[in-house]
Structure 1
């Protein structure tokens, strides 16, 4: 009797119904967090920039962030945290949740910093790349209307006397590019450090230095005013903004190439969905003709990358500039 009662059709039907309700409820409880996790982004993203407001990297990121905000439907917030070696910015990202909502802007200076100062983080181990945003060349400059009208003139002058070359801040990309040029071309030259771009321009105009190295964005107005002349660009090919200016290689110095860049990085441990979504959307934004026109006006070439490509760019630059720093005798701080 007991067996028949426990196994009666009504009792079995009730148990099956109860099991079905419980199973459906459990499935719903598990599915909700999974669905929430798969939707990215679902809140504003903060990009921590290791430079002050108004610089090339800051302006570039703000232009790109505006377009990303339109795609995501959430604001991209720019958080400027300037400081030596990008330490303040990196710490801000590492101390936040590793969820893809606090990301870092890295620049080629980040790859250089490890050879100049002791960093409390490892850029290649504690972070992972999302994509490059843009790259830019530097310019080899001389006084406008002066005697040095081509890079060949500079090489000829250095064969007769010691020339002077100027750039901002020892350890900066500009300064190290000058040191690399000196060693690659085997010049009889001395490199003079300056505090800022305005001082470099003044040094060229006064004749205190023969040659200067700086980005197009920083000297665009001085070129237009005729104060300085661009003798060559440091990249592998001519730029869209100065198409008549030859590269350093075209102008006579082989095996010399310098390209600056900026890129998005996230803290290691960030969900892959965030990396993939940011990479895909950033690639689409950078292909926009209107955005490309805006960035080229700044002297930068918009170009995304895969995370693996960006990791290689970073590593190769870190190795390259470490060797330049050692040859120049620049002591780490």
Structure 2
């Protein structure tokens, strides 16, 4: 009797042992949750609430949450040439949960400020998010209605170009225009975009350099007149406005961008996942239309392409800053 029962017990033990092994293989009790799991992802924006980068990234965060179920928090850390925002990201673990929003101003900052970090070495690119250009704007009641008019007027007298603060993309775009065109002009910086627009309407300056997003109301109302765009092609939001290249200065090109970066050392698989998700949401028709209404184009890239863009712009703006005689702060 005992011998007939024993094999059944041994068989049962083998069966239970096999099932236990299979269960352990199928569901490791201590397996780490997949990224991002239930933890929120933070986008750290180096600008205040309501700006172009802030609005763009909030739209992206919303779409990523809707499509992938991720919780994304947008935090604004303006100030000190992007140092505050970048430091917040670098002080967090490189695990993909704290990401930096860079802009073309980040490339400018490398030469303009004595940064406690290197944006090219201390961060890993994920993807571009948006592209936009600037506009050359004049008073519609004045004599300058085109770049050709501007260059001709510059041969007769010294022109005054207005921008926001020194070292801004707008300010350096004016510096680059002056040197590329060999223009007889001085550049006057103002504290705010509203101050620039008021000076243009009063006739205190001849040309202003600013984005469509910043002056959409006055542009659409005809209070100020865009005569050229700084990008390499006409924009879909102002297709009637020619580029500076088209207007006789083929070597002039200023394209602004916003992008997402991670701290260096972030796992490559996390960067690739975020890159794929960004590429997907940036193709959504409703998001692309929202971007276009803001005067910007939704456009993704590979991490390698974004790294090349940053490197190119660091060199480009370093040369402009040097030629303009602007000292690092």
If the TM-score is normalised by the length of the shorter chain, which range does it land in?
Answer: over 0.9
Map of 1:76 onto structure 2: 72
- For the pair 1:268 / 2:268, whether they are aligned, the reply is no
Equivalent of residue 230 in structure 2, options 212, 231, 234: 234
Give the match for residue 202 of structure 2. 206
Tell me, yes or no, if the aligned pair for 2:230 and 2:243 is still in contact at 8 Å: yes
**Aligned match for 2:327, one of 321, 325, 331:** 331
Alignment of 1:152-167 (within 5 A): 152-167=148-163
CA contact (8 A) 1:98 1:268 kept: yes
Distance 2:35 2:58 in 1: 24
State the alpha-carbon separation in 2 of the partners of residues 16 and 91 from structure 1. 57
Change (3 A) 1:328 1:211: same
Match of 1:106 among 93, 102, 108: 102
How far residue 225 of structure 1 moved from its aligned partner, in angstroms, is: 2.2
Question: Which consecutive unaligned segments of at least 5 residues does structure 2 have?
Answer: 1-6
Q: SS of the residue aligned with 2:58?
A: helix
Of 301, 308, 326, 2:304 maps to 308
CA distance in 1, matches of 2:159, 2:269: 53
> In structure 2, what is the equivalent of residue 179 of structure 1?
175
How far does the alpha carbon of each residue in 1:209-236 deviate from its partner, in whole angstroms, 9 at most, with x for none? 1011000001111112222100000011
Q: Distance in 1 between matches of 2:194 and 2:204?
A: 13
What is the match of residue 6 of structure 1? none
Is 1:249 paired with 2:268?
no
* Alignment partner, residue 144 of structure 2: 148
Corresponding residue for residue 4 of structure 2: none
Q: Residue deviations 1:88-123, cap 9 Å, x none?
A: 111111111211111111111011101011111111
Mapping of 1:21-40 within 5 angstroms? 31-34=28-31, 36=33, 38-40=34-36
Separation of aligned partners in 2, 1:99 and 1:214? 37
Distance 1:134 1:32, change over 3 A: farther
Hey, what does 1:5 align to over in structure 2?
none
1:282 aligns with 2:290: no
| Inter-CA distance 277–42: structure 2 relative to 1 (3 Å threshold) | farther
3-state DSSP of counterpart to 2:84: helix
Q: Which whole-Å CA distance do the structure 1 matches of 2:11 and 2:264 have between them?
A: 51
Matches of 1:313 and 1:274, distance apart in 2? 21
8 Å CA contact 1:41–1:72 kept in 2: the answer is no
What SS does structure 2 have at the residue aligned with 1:159? helix
Partner of 1:116: 112
State the TM-score, normalizing by the size of structure 2. 0.92
Q: Deviations over 1:105-147 (max 9, x none)?
A: 1111011101011111111111101100001000001112211
Report how far residue 35 of structure 1 moved: 5.3
Structure 1: distance between partners of 2:67 and 2:125 = 21
Counterpart check, 1:225 vs 2:221: yes
Alignment check: 8 A CA contact 1:40 1:273 kept: no
Cα distance in 2 for partners of 1:129, 1:108 equals: 13
Distance 2:312 2:239 in 1: 27
Structure 1 Cα separation of the partners of residues 285 and 35 of structure 2: 28
Deviation at 1:276, TM superposition (A): 1.2
Retained in 1: the 8 A contact 2:95–2:266?
yes
Choose the corresponding residue for 1:195, options 184, 191, 196: 191
Partner of 1:215: 211
Q: Tell me: CA distance 1:146–1:94, structure 2 relative to 1, closer, same or farther (3 Å).
A: same
